[in-house]
Amino acid sequence: MKKYFIAGILVWAPLSITVWVIAWGLGLLDGVFGSVMHAIILVLPHDAAVDVQHFRDLPGVGVLIVIAVIMLTGVLAISFAGQWWLKVWDRFVNRIPVVRSIYSSVQQVSSTLFSGSGQAFSKALLIRYPHADSWVIAFQTGTPAKEVAAKLGDDYVNVFLPTTPNPTSGFFMIVPRAQTIELDMSVEEALKHIVSMGSVPPNNSSALTFDKSAHHF
């Protein structure tokens, strides 16, 4: 009975979590649309507000509108005029004391994560943690800041060590490059391996093998 129960969990757990994540994302988009539409309804005349309310209540419209707005914003943002307006907007936001810190931080993280030229999660690495006889999979996120690099002296890299089974939390670490081992597996394969707590091997099964004689730390 136990093995049948576990087999059932293995079938339903990924499906349930996938549906939950999709439903959460769609609900978030629909909530953004609903908030905007509610603000519009408050300033419209009664007759127009009723029509807008009916439009707002249509299922799925909020998601489609939000996606369309995001796509349109992206199209405008890469144009010459859009770039100019973004610079004006950035200068305006950066003059607001509290908002400036939050906005600039989120902007830098977003640019790093979603830009194809960024270094975030560029490589999967093996590092020693939490002691010298234990290895974990981490992701290279870049190189240390100039001040940090100047004080450390040697060649170091920034890494993110995710937790399992929830990889959205973890530890930011600065480790010597010589004490890391670059893996052949892709970042996606490494992430699946971590989330599954090691039960799902990467497609490239040889990715976790390395020549120990070549690394003496």
Q: Given this model, what pLDDT does residue 76 score?
A: 84
Half-sphere exposure at residue 166, Cβ-oriented, CA atoms within 13 angstroms: 4
In this prediction, residue 216 carries a pLDDT of: 46
Residues paired with 139 in a beta bridge: 124, 160
Which run of H or of E encompasses 149?
helix 146-152
Give how far the C-alpha of residue 12 lies from the chain's centroid of Cα atoms, to the nearest Å. Answer: 25
CA atoms within 13 A on the CB side of 177: 12
Are 134 and 128 in contact by the 8 Å Cβ rule? The answer is yes
Q: What is the pLDDT of residue 113?
A: 61
CB 181, CB 215: distance < 8 Å: yes
* Helices 80-93 + 61-77 axis angle, to 10: 100
pLDDT value at residue 26: 77
Total Cβ atoms within 10 A of residue 216? 6
Q: Give the pLDDT score at 177.
A: 92
The whole-number pLDDT of residue 109 equals 67
Q: What pLDDT score was predicted for residue 213? A: 44
pTM above 0.75, yes or no: no
Q: How far apart are CA 54 and CA 66, in angstroms?
A: 17
Per-residue pLDDT of the chain (217 residues; tens, 9 = 90+): 777 788 788 778 778 888 887 888 777 777 777 787 778 888 888 778 787 777 777 777 777 777 888 888 888 888 888 888 888 888 888 888 888 888 877 777 676 666 555 556 778 999 999 998 999 999 998 888 889 989 998 799 999 999 887 787 889 999 999 999 999 988 888 888 888 888 878 775 544 444 444 454 5
Q: Which of 55, 23, 25, 64 is nearest to 37 (CA)?
A: 55
Choose among 206, 190, 195, 186: nearest CA to 163. Answer: 195
Q: Two tokens at 211?
A: 């020549």
Q: Judge whether 7 and 14 are in contact, CB under 8 Å.
A: no
Residue 72: per-residue pLDDT:
87
pLDDT in the model for residue 23: 81
Token pair belonging to 64 = 């489609």
Q: What are phi and psi of 8, to 5 degrees?
A: -65, -40
Q: How far apart are CA 156 and CA 136, in angstroms?
A: 17
